[in-house]
Amino acid sequence: MKKLFFILLILNSLSTIAQQKKSEKEERISKDEMPEKAIQFFNEVLFEETNTYRFYFETDGKRKSYETKFKKNKVGYSIEFGEDGNLQDVEVTVPLKKLNAEVKKRIEKFFNEQYSGFRIEKVQLQYLHQQSKNAQETYSRASNIFQNKPDNYEIVAKVKIDGNRKHLEVLFDASGNFIKKREIAENSYDYLIF
Average model confidence (pLDDT) for the chain? 85
Statement: residue 13 has pLDDT above 50: no
pLDDT at 110: 97
Question: Which domains does the chain carry?
Answer: 2-189 (3.10.450.360)
In the structure, what pLDDT confidence band is assigned to residue 4 with cuts at 50, 70 and 90? Answer: very low
pLDDT in tens, 118-149: 999 999 999 999 876 888 899 999 999 888 99
Predicted TM-score (pTM) of this structure: 0.81
In the chain, beta strands by DSSP E? 21-22, 25-29, 53-59, 64-72, 75-82, 87-94, 117-128, 152-161, 164-173, 178-184
Q: For residue 191, which amino acid is it?
A: Y
Statement: residue 24 has pLDDT above 80: no
CA distance 105 to 79: 27
In the structure, what pLDDT confidence band is assigned to residue 103 with cuts at 50, 70 and 90? Answer: very high
CA distance 192 to 194: 6
Query: Cβ distance 74 to 122 under 8 Å?
Result: no
For 124, residues 6+ apart whose C-beta sits below 8 A from its C-beta are: 78, 91, 92, 93, 94, 153, 154, 155
For 192, residues 6+ apart whose C-beta sits below 8 A from its C-beta are: 24, 122, 156, 169, 184
Residue 7 sits at φ, ψ, to 5 deg, of -65, -45
Give which of 19, 15, 14, 24 is closest to 62, Cα–Cα: 24
Statement: residue 6 has pLDDT above 80: no
pLDDT at 88: 96
pLDDT at 131: 76
pLDDT at 146: 82
Statement: residue 68 has pLDDT above 90: yes
Statement: residue 193 has pLDDT above 70: no
CA distance 74 to 143: 12
Statement: residue 18 has pLDDT above 50: no
CA distance 154 to 181: 9
Query: Cβ distance 91 to 127 under 8 Å?
Result: yes
pLDDT at 22: 57
CA distances from 133 to 45, 83, 130, 173 (A): 15, 19, 6, 20
Give which of 98, 133, 130, 122 is closest to 171, Cα–Cα: 122
pLDDT at 21: 58
